[in-house]
Structure 1
């Protein structure tokens, strides 16, 4: 107990705590900053959650063909001829197929049973099973409609009459049985809002020091550059964690968003992404001379991040070049993490690639921003 009291006493008497207390007092006195942290995230989350509804194509299709006969191959060809579906893989089992849907590698899975040809030959209804990732309700609805239409056309080619049903699809929607559009958009908007708020607030906070001349005063204090920077980051980080909880609460209360994963994993990875957003903001502040300039620069940087992240429209609908480019977008990885944890309930065994990418972005961007800030102080 005594070592803890000694540590706390030394901490509260340290230069770091003095700088952190100064930042906290500045934030609490800045009503515009508090409003920026609360009002825009709320409005954007509600607006995008209710309004967005994009078109889709090039959906990733997986096929388990137990029959492996000309009729089954013809059905697969019919599904892919209009480019709404593109065969991504031929798994060897239903378990492997559902696993790839869970991991986000496939959007739609089709299972063709072994007795497919026999039932068609005998004029019976040959049922096929269709798995659809229902996280994006709009995509799932369109996929269901196209599958139904394609199967109907396929039936007409096989049958002499247009009324006889030869193939009957049984569609199952994963993760979003009610095909609620907001369940897809709200997790994406959470990432979008955190990107905008984290980068803007951190950038404006640092630039304001330049405008008011207090940055020069900090240079006169007996504090190391890292102490000055960390004292700025920690209070902002705590406030932005509040924004994460606010967005999650709105999603639950307003849109009925489920939460199927691990809450602590979600908060840990969200905290990791907050460091990415804060790093972007500090970098913007080091290259900007005024608050107006930093806002314009942030708009220029954040807009491409948002457009190529999959927050608004599925990445599969983008040209191949932009799909590859999006791999270097930290927001894309964070949105995949949010949707995976909230809607699918998966953990690091599935999301480790995105988590690793996010950690790499956080380390690289924070290192660059710290070095630029330190050189500016020097």
Structure 2
């Protein structure tokens, strides 16, 4: 019991040290409040007010119909320009899209001559260009098909497609972005807080005071793990309930308690990783550089931003050793699809095993670092 009391008291000391660090407190508050809100609402969910210009060289009912199909909020009101104005407008960035309807377009379409409409796209805005190109293609094809159906009989399609989107029926970007931002911030803050706590003690000289006390390296490390992990876990719960459910009105299908239990296991692994990085770095700038090398692969290759199935095979296998891979899969299953423990228990088990390995490695490194200081 003496070991437990020591771990508890040292953890309280860590919490008090954190309360005296206003920059870290601001980082925690921002990461689980404004950052989540901005990630969910800052990027438009779909194409939004994209500037488009149209060159109508046909001046037919069909070309007028196509022109009138472009309206807010996806596009701005089309700017009707001459052919000589297209290059100047594209070069100046006034138009992202420029649609050129050729002469005799309606007549050639009715005569089955397969006329071509030219679409110029400013691809410097890659995401908007890709999405907008698909939108414009659908709009033009739809208007042409409706116009053709009014002038001649069309054979009915032999197949109907009934589309049902599960878990996010409206394909709302904020539903995905807000929760994934919380998942990423749990990993980032847990590594930052524990690593910074260790470096802060080394820079302030308080680590030498701990070395002369009747406590073990295990107790020192365990206190940092539970104290910083608790802070991140409480902030995560606040973000889920207040920001995601309350402010953004995002429905959470599964059990928040089950997710927080999985997050607690994940924090056991990532806080250990933070201490390991803190023993390697000798200053906060060095720690920041190590964070860039470690955090970016953890977030980009864990399956949260892109499906793991689209990654090279060796990357998929290598990332199984990272706790974020299993945490992202577990979190998405619980929060998006309402999965229970009977579905996510393999991820729980994997995180426990990986966390145990990380904790052991970090503790070994921590003991070695303390012995050299002593």
Please classify the TM superposition score into its range, dividing by the shorter chain length.
Answer: 0.5 to 0.7
2:224 is aligned with 1:232: yes
2:160 & 2:7 partners in 1: Cα distance?
A: 68
2:229 & 2:33 partners in 1: Cα distance?
A: 18
Deviation per residue, 1:284-317 (Å, 9 max, x gap)? 0010101111111111110111111222233333
2:342 is aligned with 1:358: no
Matching residue of 1:304: 297
Structure 2, unpaired ranges of 5+: 47-130, 143-152
1:172 alignment partner, SS class: coil
Q: 1:44 aligns with which of 22, 35, 40?
A: 35
When residues 328 and 234 of structure 1 are mapped into structure 2, their CA distance, relative to the original with a 3 A threshold, is closer
1:282 & 1:169 partners in 2: Cα distance?
A: 53
TM-score by length of 1: 0.65
1:18 & 1:352 partners in 2: Cα distance?
A: 33
Deviation per residue, 1:203-230 (Å, 9 max, x gap)? 0000111111111111111212222222
Structure 1, unpaired ranges of 5+: 1-6, 56-140, 153-160
Cα RMSD (Å) of the superposition?
A: 3.0
2:239 is aligned with 1:247: yes
2:10 is aligned with 1:22: no
Q: 2:257 aligns with which of 261, 264, 270?
A: 264
Give the length in aligned residue pairs: 271
1:259 alignment partner, SS class: coil
Deviation per residue, 1:125-174 (Å, 9 max, x gap)? xxxxxxxxxxxxxxxx9xxx9xx9xxx9xxxxxxxx85321011111111
Q: 2:174 aligns with which of 175, 178, 182?
A: 182
2:171 alignment partner, SS class: coil
When residues 307 and 53 of structure 1 are mapped into structure 2, their CA distance, relative to the original with a 3 A threshold, is farther
CA contact (8 A) 2:190 2:274 kept: yes
Q: How does 1:100-249 map to 2 (within 5 A)?
A: 163-249=155-241
Matching residue of 1:313: 306
TM-score by length of 2: 0.66
CA contact (8 A) 1:176 1:183 kept: yes
Q: Which of 1 and 2 has greater Rg?
A: 2
Shift of residue 21, structure 1, vs aligned partner: 3.2
1:50 & 1:322 partners in 2: Cα distance?
A: 31
